Structure 1
Amino acid sequence: MKKFIDREMFLGTQNDLLTLILDNITSRKKTSYYALNPDCMLKYWKDEEYRKIINNNENIVYVDGMGIIFSQKILNLPVAKERIATTDLFPALMEEIDKRQEEIRIFLLGGKGDTVKKVAKTFSERYPGVQIVGFHHGYFDKNLESKKIIELVNQTKADILFVGFGNPVQEKWVNAHQKEIESLSIITCGGLFDYYSNNVKRAPLLMQKVGFEWLYRLSQEPFRLSRRYIFGNFSYLLKIASFKFTK
């Protein structure tokens, strides 16, 4: 790879993205939304299938990682106005829909066990104007059961489908089934459901703002996340250095 990324990224604010999502639903424009952070970029540079999905300009790609913003500044690239964490985008979208009292139907797909059920209950109670019309865990056989799950989603006539399988499995699954899924907006969300079911705690706000949320996550699950955050961050820095100092 000779370039940081082979496409333009969404560089607006979270409010800008919320407006875009809701406007696309109003205009019946089918769109998938993918977040990128440094771990995603490492996969982007190595995984050709994932790279093609991200490079597809019919999809919206936004910045969910301070490491991306730091890299944009170092490499003199257009810089995102702010980091848009999907974990913040989710409740903000719910709040906006609740405030507008719009008939927008939402389906939550992902997590394990009853994790997603807890999230659906919590947000239905918090935002009574939001229609969470269905949910299903993400631990199904993607080869054998996807058709059944998509039929379930389509039966609910969901306008927005959140898919949380982890990256890049979720993006590849959405790409493979995009034509079959009738939802207008598909938003991949990684481990979001774990946060809002209290399976995982988020970092304090200050650590989020200065780009050290990864360190807080590492302190919670050092054995599981050490490869991603220690070796991954080092590999990411080396890659950015190669872009900076290689013509």
Structure 2
Amino acid sequence: MAIVGGYVAKRDYSSALDSLIAMEPEVIANAHDSYKIFFFDQLARCYDSDRQSRKAIDIWHSIYDGKNISVNTLAHWAHAYYHINELDSAYMLIQQANKLPRNNTDEALCRNVEYDILEKMGRKAELARVDSLRNIAAGNTMKERKLEESSLALNLKYDSATRNARIEAAEARNRTNIAIFIAMLLAISGVAAYIFMNKRNQLLKLEHENDILKIKTMQDNLFKSDCRNKDMSARISELFHTRFNLIDALAATYFECKR
């Protein structure tokens, strides 16, 4: 339907009609009832715009007989009767539309169709009144469009400001998160460094204590070794002294025997 809308916007009603006709079998087979009504309403409008107003009227009869009809559809339906010069039917439908509540856009559409019908019917006395009403409706429609454009501009401005505020807030959150991450990283690094230095100091202290213990052990061993050496020296000295005395005694005995 978006493609059809594009054709209608370009007033290429023939292409729009071809697209709708190509879609018709699938819509009939698969679409729900409310969409079918919408689809065939659009198909009827394209038939009318393509100067096939009788087909359009037949479609509207098939989908709307005995059902509520929108003001917009009644105006287009009346215009289709206008195109085939069935002016009484056209006037009846446009009067039916004029009795229903409607917005300024539909009011302008109805008054334009009514003006065309009355002009073709030759009822010139009523044209001035309808022309005045359609000018008022056109003015109101223009005001609505300007208001909508102004509202749209304000909404766009608000959306832009909101988007910028969101971006700034997101950037602020990112900066805060980065700062928190860096602070946490520094804290973790500081704790890790403290633990490392504390562990290193403990290891150095333990190593120092082990070195002191080794030194004391070596000192004790040296002391014991020195004591053993002194004892050995004393024993050797005593042994030499004993041997010397023995030799001296033997020598004395020997010389006495010589005499």
Which structure has the higher relative contact order (CA within 8 Å, separation 6+)?
A: 1
TM-score by length of 2: 0.29
Who wins on radius of gyration, i.e. which is larger?
2
TM-score by length of 1: 0.31
Q: Select the structure that is richer in strand.
A: 1
Q: Select the structure that is richer in helix.
A: 2
